A and B are shown apart, each in its own frame.
Chain A
Amino acid sequence: MTNGWIDIKNTDMMLIMGGNPAENHPCGFKWPIEAKRNRNAKMIVVDPRFTRTAATADLFVQLRTGTDIAFLGGLIRYVMENNRIAKDYLVQYTNAAFIVRKGFKLPEDGLYSGFDAATHTYDKATWNYEEGGDLKGKPDTPGDGAPSANPPALPADVAYDLTLEHPRTVFQLLRKHFSRYTPEMVERITGVPKDQFLKAADLFTSIRKDGDTKKVGTIIYAVGWTQHSSGTQTIRTAAMLQLLLGNVGRAGGGVNALRGHSNIQGATDMAGVFDLLPGYLKVPTMADVDLKTYLTRITPKAAKPGPWNSFNYWSNTPKFAVSLLKALYGEHARKENDWAFHYLPKIDRRYSWAEIWDDMYRGHVKGLLAFGMNGVAIGPNSSKNIDALKKADWLVVCEIYPDETSEFWKSPGITTDEMKQIQTTVYRLPGAGFAEKDGTFVNSARWLQWKNAALPPPGLARLDQEILARIFLKVRELYQKEGGKFPDPVLHATWNYTDPHNPSLAEIAKEINGRALADVTDPKLNQTIKAGQQLPGFAWLRDDGSTSSGNWIFCGSWTEAGAQIQRRGTEDPSGLGIYPNWAWSWPANRRVLYNRASCDLSGKPWDPDRAQVWWNEAQQKWVGNDVPDFKPDSPPKDHMGPFIMNPEGIGRLFVPLAGMADGPFPEHYEPTESPIDNPLHPQQTHNPLAKRFSTPLDKFGSPAEGYNIICTTYRLTEHYHYWTKNNPMNVQLVPEPFVEIPAELADEMGLRGGEKIKVTSARGHYLAKAMVTRRIKSMIVDGKKTYQIGIPIHWGYRGIAEDAGKTGLTTANQLSPAVTDPNAYTPEFKGFLVKIERA
């Protein structure tokens, strides 16, 4: 979240789309309700189904799953056509006025300039700004533009036109790009009737009616946006809409991702992704031959219009990286050995979730450690995952219940004879439940909150850190005894814990925060942190080996003043729900990111009633209720951009160069399995960069083959993933798997609620009872009557109902395809084609 859960109470307008917070985040949903109750805020819910969130909304719009970019693109067009933009914010705080270089082509035919059909990648040289000064009123001369540097880099002095009139300003290109997303086109693609779309568009953008700059709107989403083959671009479209409306950085505004699990945010922060190191540092590639090459590649240089200023906070990357290496390898990371940079693994290609299973299926991955996740059930294309496990040599599952992964050989369809052929050795480790562990959760609002263990793990169950520590120490012992290809990174990894076999999470949290390894002095503050002391914040990190930090964004969470993450202060002096003394929020205990943008150019809040930070002329610094997300002493006259993590200092409507794999602007592409050709460009229906796999189990269906019903998957309030099917209380509330079927479709099939049905995709089938409902209606998509159905994912072949023989023993993800988004590599769980019949 750019903002936080509590901050939603400050909003005037909510667009909830690609998420179902009332069902999947019921505790957090109190804040949207507060906004409605206390501010008369309006709530618009856009979803394929009328959900429990929709039940409390002011306006519900049913859209076809996977068409969110078309809907949001239509909103962007509406904002521009109806002058609902925040003009000053747009010109000063975004790249709307920047000039894009010649040769850049919009995707009228579905492809941006630079597409290479052989490799399905883009040469992004033209996805850049033009160099050189104010082009206000200057004619656009023909030609291809200056050749760009090799490798292409952002120009230091970006050309701009503050009148936004130059035809190659980002603003004009944006207008042209989204001019195709007319209400009629939105209706053809999304299935949302034009009048309904216009109603929603008018309501959401009404906050900027008649030049109002005080009101604020928020966008709230979850995996309903990410789990598509254009998921990342969907979220970009939302961010762009919020920039046009001037809603980012403001209390009650922002783009707010609701994280589905208690610590999924923490997992991402701590690099639970193959191409990230802790704190969103990039993982080195094969081309990064030494630290210097690596740091040069990943450290951006400021790029902005001449008269403007850019903080370019990522220019501190070397400090974060060297401090991380010091945390990882301690005294073995020295200046002479490039801070042990060569110990870090280098990636030569993608190793995302779907790739791991594909590699295992192809026999390249021989073993898997499965902790805290049920890899078979969460899919996608679960049948392939099961087949992959059959080919593995070994599997370690650490869980609190037997699950579909730890008993993958029991998957329905595997005969007893086939079971005997499976040679995979499975080790099942008894893990501890969440209430049996202490440590932190990082919530959606980026708060690190410490929790205490409620009770010890039962029986032989062990804490995760003990299991991992014992495995690590055993592996290290093997390297010590037997050597190996490259033992140093394992032998030299820092492991300074009081109990090496069971490190305390408090010790680890302190290590992640980081400490001074030598005395570190800040001459400006006239303050010194002594060697051995915990660092007060990431501004103290150095690239000379005098500091260590396991994750720079968490630096400040456990200081000499104590564990900030354990704080429980309930003071909220501003009344904005900031609660500065409750737990600790990264970065720097800042609750709303980019909060400089909550003020106008002169440093005064757009809305004085919701003042977060402001420029104090007397003190010559930024002050406020929240921690300013800005260079504290940069006066407004210097025009430093509020988006300090971008080298331009501004919010990006146009993402230059390598920012996005599949285009500087978002474009609607059809889901990989879709009932229609893309109405925008039928010859380029799908995202050209979405990754498909090529094993015999990676099959795709089409309407011509009878797969003409759209299926989406989701979760219920009453269940948590694949755990609670083992808990009688949850099973009582929703006892069995079901499939939600539109009443109209059921009538056509003569199907009644409670009858058993079989849902089949090109990859597998799912057996469950039909829930016939009027909450999903038929839609007209590009002139064709279309039905959507929905499957809650919570069942499989192990659990109370399953063991009692009451279910079909199939997992919903046997239906979903392993097609991934090219930016975040998230699979397309949310929209694919099926057929249904009576079982």
Chain B
Amino acid sequence: MSNGPLEIKAISGHAGPVPGRDTSRDYDVCKLVDVTTCIGCKACEVACLEWNGYPFRETVFDNTYQTMPDLAWNYYNLIRFNEHTASDGTFSWLMRKDQCMHCADPGCLRACPADGAIVQYANGIVDFQQENCIGCQYCVTGCPFNIPKFNPETKKVHKCTLCSDRVGVGLEPACIKACPTGCLHFGSKDDMKDLAGRRAQQLREHTAHTNAGVYDPPGVGGTHVIYVLHDISNPEAYGGLPANPRVPWTVKLWKGPLKWLGNLAMFGGLLGVTLHYLRFGPKQVKEDHAEGKS
């Protein structure tokens, strides 16, 4: 998923400066999902599959309109359908387009130990580079939204690219293009925040959704996919959208303050091995034992 035209801001597990930094000036991009105008038509699901060239899969009936229970390594975009009864008895059928949130502070990138497997472009897109992925799945642990999915056959992890290959050449993501109601918008983060804010205000002032708001969680530094929700106080109702997502403390600790400990342990181990070699020499293998085993 390498992209020439986009400027890279950060690279997972990479020592030294970021190549190409300060050469391109892409603005922060953002996808706005106005959940209040989503009709669950799944055009975005199909567009995503078709653009990414993934085959259609066999699914099974699961007592829901939702295509399948969760995202998959080759299914980046899923509308989550939830029947919800509010505390006042109001019934609603919530449909939320679920995909990578493209966090400004991406837990996946922080957790990833492989050089160049995850990059964050200057425009905010967090992209997996499968050719560098070592299949350790630390990114899965690092993601507070449960997005990256592992392909057991290739041992690589995949997720929504925010169509970096389209955005890089000036196109909107495939899902945006397919959306029939205009529930999906794409533009600069500032513009989308403004649009989302005004829409939420309109909902609060002119509809029964007096608690409408914009989901752009600060715990991950804000996201490059933001939602307008009917009820901002209860994102969990929309199919498990976390109320206050954060990069897991274990990842933060391990990749942050404790990183020197790891390095120390690694270098300590190496030192020990070297000392052991110097002191005792190479390991002697007993011939008879080896034969007896075979």
Name A residues whose Cβ lies closer than 8 Å to a Cβ of B: 22-23, 26-27, 29-30, 33-34, 36-37, 40, 50, 52-56, 58, 60, 717-718, 728-729, 731-736, 738, 753-754, 769-775
Contact = CB atoms under 8 A, between A and B. Distances in A.
A731 B42 CA distance: 13
Contact of A56 (B36, B43, B62): B36
B112 interface: no
Interface in B14-41: 36-41
Given A29-B181, A50-B91, A54-B93, A732 B37 contact: no
Contacts of A729: 46, 49, 56
Interface of B: 36-43, 45-46, 49, 56-65, 67, 83, 85, 91-95, 180-183, 199, 202, 206-208
Contacts of B181: 22, 26, 29-30, 33
B41 A754 contact: no
Given A30-B181, A50-B93, A733 B39 contact: no
A58 B208 contact: yes
Contacts of A718: 42
Closest 3 CB pairs of A and B: A753-B63, A22-B39, A728-B56
Given A732-B67, A754-B63, A774-B85, A27 B40 contact: no
A794 to B, nearest CB: 13
Contacts of B206: 40
B40 A55 contact: yes
19 contacts: A22-B181, A26-B41, A34-B182, A36-B37, A37-B182, A50-B93, A52-B40, A52-B93, A55-B92, A55-B95, A717-B39, A728-B56, A732-B58, A738-B61, A753-B62, A769-B61, A770-B63, A771-B63, A775-B91
Given A22-B41, A52-B93, A58 B57 contact: no
Given A37-B199, A56-B37, A771-B64, A29 B59 contact: no
Contacts of B38: 56
B37 A733 contact: no
A55 to B, nearest CB: 4
Contacts of A773: 83
B61 A733 contact: no
Contact of B93 (A55, A732, A738, A769): A55
Given A54-B93, A732-B67, A30 B42 contact: no
A770 B62 CA distance: 10
Given A30-B180, A52-B93, 14 more contacts: A23-B39, A26-B41, A26-B43, A26-B181, A27-B180, A36-B37, A52-B41, A53-B39, A56-B38, A58-B208, A717-B41, A729-B49, A738-B61, A775-B83
A40 B202 contact: yes
Contacts of B182: 30, 33-34, 37
Nearest to B85: A774
Q: Which of B62, B63, B67, B182 has the most CB of A within 10 A?
A: B63
Contacts of B42: 717-718, 733
Nearest to B50: A729
Contacts of A735: 58-61
A728 B58 CA distance: 8
B230 to A, nearest CB: 10
A733 B91 contact: no
A724 to B, nearest CB: 12
Given A27-B180, A735-B58, A754-B61, A774 B83 contact: yes
A735 B58 CA distance: 8
A813 to B, nearest CB: 21
B48 to A, nearest CB: 12
Contacts of B37: 33, 36-37, 56
B39 A732 contact: no
Contacts of B46: 729, 733
A770 B63 CA distance: 7
Q: Which of A732, A769, A772 has the most CB of B within 10 A?
A: A732
A29 B179 CA distance: 11
Contacts of A27: 180
A36 to B, nearest CB: 8
Contacts of A60: 91
A777 to B, nearest CB: 8
Nearest to A51: B93
Contacts of A52: 39-41, 93, 95
A312 B38 CA distance: 45
Contacts of B39: 22-23, 26, 29, 52-53, 55-56, 717
A39 to B, nearest CB: 10
A769 B62 CA distance: 10
B45 A774 contact: no
A399 B36 CA distance: 40
Contacts of A36: 37
Q: Which of B43, B64, B94 has the most CB of A within 10 A?
A: B64
A770 B207 CA distance: 34
Q: Which of B49, B56, B202 has the most CB of A within 10 A?
A: B56
Nearest to A737: B61
A32 to B, nearest CB: 9
B182 to A, nearest CB: 6
Nearest to A28: B180
B209 to A, nearest CB: 10
Nearest to A771: B63
Contacts of A23: 39, 41
Contacts of B63: 753-754, 769-772
Contacts of B40: 22, 52, 55, 717
A796 B95 CA distance: 29
A30 B179 CA distance: 9
B152 to A, nearest CB: 20
B92 A733 contact: no
Contacts of A33: 37, 181-183
Nearest to A743: B83
Q: Which of B41, B45, B67 has the most CB of A within 10 A?
A: B41
